[in-house]
Chain A
């Protein structure tokens, strides 16, 4: 157990601010817990924690060694998926891992979605950590049930458990060829003591039959016939739909309003003012005026008929053009040193040549295809919520807080998520629905419009980067200085305008560089909007600037960007904290012993992707290739894109290659689909993405001015190569994104000679 990773909340600041959700360790794995008599909890899947499964299943007799697995007397195995499904395919992956350890036949496995409950440990589906964080824990969940079934069989046959094996939903005794199905053993097994974690041996990997093989998409049929229930689709009898007019500026409030015209709209039932939030805003409702109606259309019309005068508040001066300048000025002055090796200033001063560049990436919005939505029912002092949330425990905590209830009085059910990307980790929409349900006295469904979503998002942070390199006479890089400025996510939680360790690990502190003098500095930047985490977070702008800058250095030296890339990564090795010039590395919550900064792995993905894309032909027939590589979420990804200028003069990406080294993978097809999606997501960032502010108000409102890549812009082909590995698993949902934008910018330079230092490309090019 000592090797088991600590299950910490994804964002270190959350832990620091005591907002961490989920335990530091899975309670069901403590040895003390394991020694309790088990006749009671076993055989019952409830009452706590509750799941969205039917009551009958919860009370069925059988084996129930922990909150994740239940084996019924008829043989049905129920596996709880405690992480949210938002497109990453977690429901098609994690339960399979458990079933493989158990030896269950997937045809006799039912997967149910967990409610928000600390009993499951951390449920925050975020930080690409559903597999990397709990791979071993989830195996142990299945293995525990297997050991108990085997023990029950051995007891009945009066043989040694070591002579038995569990597979195909049954236990076999090798010598006598006897067999007992899981169902026949479930009740007996349920009477045994749950073994200590130390007594539970995991299977050798070769016995995990499905892991690493193509796995069917569990929810595929429901997605294509319209029956999958997303948050937006959940309905209760007597429910009203609320559409809310929120203050246009963060921190603004209602000065006065007139609801008469809104109330005159047929179908409108109530108009309710929400309380104005106080900083720090965290997941509080924004305030504003809610219009509750019999249907969504009436609520939207009612809202349009409201007459509201707003007090804008202190953020009404926020202007993106001015702020851009503020950030650039910040990185032109020294900041707090966060990484230091050698004497960078001295080396820059005596360098034969100094190359410097500044990069800017704007605010971005998440825009999941399903805008935020939640349904809540408040009855008899308890609240029940149905929501597409990435973090049901945070949703539960926030609903309890806004209602002044203990958490036990709040139940959060998780629906399918129509996309998440970090937006649905925030519980503000759940909080709105819960509060309104109590006020209205009937079930309330809060529906955000797309305009609400774009205008009131927790925006990805705007940033400036300044990179400086000193070259000696031979062109060798002898000094590297990286300054970064961005308003950090911590500000949302009342933290200072300075990035923390968990922020700066994302492509600054954890960058392996074979350069003798390296210095990184963090500069201050004040937040004027709610800053949130967006898929791959700060890696977006750190990877963009670092990979672009390396390409600039290569061209300045007149050399192949791939060779310079490999030269700067240096020889295969583990880059120690000492080499990196840092005291500690947050390392996405995992130990550096298990997940070191491995320059060799980064080299290999670069070498592989340049082979596959035939890098030697990198400029040919009107197309040019661009390369970028990045380590994030403990996974190494290299991307090459091919860029062309089409007949209308537009720049387009016509082909992309992705090589990913994520260590052990459970479900290769979902790894591929995440990489394909990451290319498109990264292209949207590169080509189109920008939220710009004027007077504290976002200037974009829907997909016509906050554009996303469409099918006609999608590459003809996205090639994905997964490095075969037995190593500890890394993240998958996010690490594909960061290298995409710089690979495109580098390809554009190769094709046109134009260097892109500001995103999106649409600012300077036809895309």
Chain B
């Protein structure tokens, strides 16, 4: 069965098991490795992508659910890494190992699209599903606010 998905603005055809999680279709079939595997159970958020602009965990989203829809991954968030979140992340030195950060940024991007000026509580709630073992949370909060043009304190 062939599945048609628009990925980062490009129409793709996927000839895979329709039950395969989108995560593995992106990583193993399409070579888009910016979306990470961290738990496989929607517990850590490392695989966060946008499906028609909504945050989904690609590790538990079967590829058939994307059929006829539009997917955005970290590679497609901005053409050149210039999304305000990406810039704020670099400016404030958010990443440590960097592995979870694509998922953090994708979650935050969906938040800002809905709430351009989020509060700390809204940031915490929105990013509550994204784990960071290095512990970059305080800088993540600061970077989301910076990208939103809000003062840090």
Q: Which residues of A contact B (CB under 8 A)?
A: 85-89, 217, 219-230, 232-233, 235, 241, 266-267, 294-298, 300, 367-371, 416-421, 447, 449-451, 669-670, 673-674, 676-681, 702-704, 708-712, 714-718
| Extra 12 A-B pairs, beta carbons < 8 Å, given A295-B29, A673-B139 | A230-B33, A297-B28, A369-B46, A418-B97, A419-B99, A447-B37, A449-B40, A676-B138, A702-B41, A703-B131, A710-B130, A717-B138
A87-B97, A229-B33, A241-B28 known; A368-B133 Cβ under 8 A? yes
Which of the residues A230, A300, A421, A450 comes within 8 Å of B99, measured between beta carbons? A230
Nearest A residue to B87, CB-CB: A224
**In the assembled complex, which residues on chain A have CB atoms less than 8 Å from the CB atom of B35?**
226
A225-B81, A449-B40 known; A714-B137 Cβ under 8 A? yes
Cβ contact within 8 Å between A235 and B81 = no
B61 within 8 A of A: no
Nearest A residue to B27, CB-CB: A296
**In the assembled complex, which residues on chain A have CB atoms less than 8 Å from the CB atom of B31?**
235
CB distance from B55 to the nearest CB of A (A): 15
A217-B93, A223-B101, A233-B33 known; A708-B133 Cβ under 8 A? yes
CB distance from A215 to the nearest CB of B (A): 9
A369 CA to B132 CA, complexed, in Å = 7
Cβ contact within 8 Å between A710 and B131 = yes
A87 CA to B31 CA, complexed, in Å = 24
Cβ contact within 8 Å between B38 and A450 = yes
Cβ contact within 8 Å between B136 and A416 = no
Cβ contact within 8 Å between A225 and B74 = yes
A39 CA to B150 CA, complexed, in Å = 58
CB distance from B26 to the nearest CB of A (A): 11
**In the assembled complex, which residues on chain B have CB atoms less than 8 Å from the CB atom of A220?**
89-90, 93, 95
Give me 8 A-to-B residue pairs in the complex whose CB atoms sit less than 8 angstroms apart, sorted by A's number.
A88-B96, A232-B33, A232-B36, A369-B132, A418-B36, A418-B98, A419-B133, A703-B44
A224-B81, A369-B36, A702-B39 known; A678-B44 Cβ under 8 A? no
Cβ contact within 8 Å between A419 and B97 = yes
Cβ contact within 8 Å between A370 and B95 = no
Cβ contact within 8 Å between A295 and B28 = yes
**In the assembled complex, which residues on chain B have CB atoms less than 8 Å from the CB atom of A670?**
93
CB distance from A272 to the nearest CB of B (A): 20
Q: What is the interface residue range for chain B against chain A? A: 35 or more
CB distance from A301 to the nearest CB of B (A): 8
Cβ contact within 8 Å between A711 and B98 = no
A235-B31, A680-B135 known; A711-B141 Cβ under 8 A? yes
A454 CA to B43 CA, complexed, in Å = 14
Which of the residues B28, B33, B34, B128 comes within 8 Å of A711, measured between beta carbons? B128
A444 CA to B57 CA, complexed, in Å = 27
A224-B81, A295-B28 known; A711-B38 Cβ under 8 A? no
CB distance from B87 to the nearest CB of A (A): 8
Q: Which residues of B contact A (CB under 8 A)?
A: 16-17, 20-21, 24, 27-29, 31-41, 43-44, 46, 73-75, 77-78, 80-81, 85-86, 89-90, 93, 95-102, 105, 120, 123-125, 127-141
Which of the residues A419, A702, A711, A716 comes within 8 Å of B140, measured between beta carbons? A711
**In the assembled complex, which residues on chain A have CB atoms less than 8 Å from the CB atom of B36?**
230, 232, 369-370, 418
**In the assembled complex, which residues on chain A have CB atoms less than 8 Å from the CB atom of B73?**
226
A235 CA to B81 CA, complexed, in Å = 23
A172 CA to B40 CA, complexed, in Å = 58
Cβ contact within 8 Å between B81 and A369 = no
A266 CA to B100 CA, complexed, in Å = 31
Which of the residues B29, B97, B140 comes within 8 Å of A416, measured between beta carbons? B97
Cβ contact within 8 Å between B93 and A673 = yes
A418 CA to B101 CA, complexed, in Å = 10
- Among B34, B73, B77, B105, residue most surrounded by chain A Cβ atoms (within 10 Å): B34
**In the assembled complex, which residues on chain B have CB atoms less than 8 Å from the CB atom of A300?**
40
A726 CA to B152 CA, complexed, in Å = 32
Nearest B residue to A677, CB-CB: B135
Nearest A residue to B81, CB-CB: A225
A710 CA to B135 CA, complexed, in Å = 9
Nearest B residue to A669, CB-CB: B93
Cβ contact within 8 Å between B135 and A678 = yes
CB distance from A217 to the nearest CB of B (A): 5
Cβ contact within 8 Å between A87 and B41 = no
A298 CA to B16 CA, complexed, in Å = 10
A71 CA to B10 CA, complexed, in Å = 43
A669 CA to B91 CA, complexed, in Å = 12
Cβ contact within 8 Å between B90 and A297 = no
CB distance from A681 to the nearest CB of B (A): 6
Cβ contact within 8 Å between B130 and A711 = yes
**In the assembled complex, which residues on chain B have CB atoms less than 8 Å from the CB atom of A718?**
138
Cβ contact within 8 Å between A681 and B135 = yes
Nearest B residue to A228, CB-CB: B98
A80 CA to B128 CA, complexed, in Å = 38
CB distance from B42 to the nearest CB of A (A): 10
**In the assembled complex, which residues on chain B have CB atoms less than 8 Å from the CB atom of A680?**
132, 134-135, 137
A677-B136, A711-B124, A711-B127 known; A368-B97 Cβ under 8 A? yes
**In the assembled complex, which residues on chain B have CB atoms less than 8 Å from the CB atom of A297?**
17, 20-21, 24, 28
A709 CA to B134 CA, complexed, in Å = 10
Cβ contact within 8 Å between B123 and A226 = no
A232-B33, A416-B97, A711-B124 known; A703-B86 Cβ under 8 A? no
Which of the residues B39, B95, B102, B136 comes within 8 Å of A450, measured between beta carbons? B39
Which of the residues B21, B40, B43, B101 comes within 8 Å of A224, measured between beta carbons? B101
CB distance from B79 to the nearest CB of A (A): 10
Cβ contact within 8 Å between A219 and B98 = yes
Cβ contact within 8 Å between B98 and A416 = yes
A708 CA to B123 CA, complexed, in Å = 18
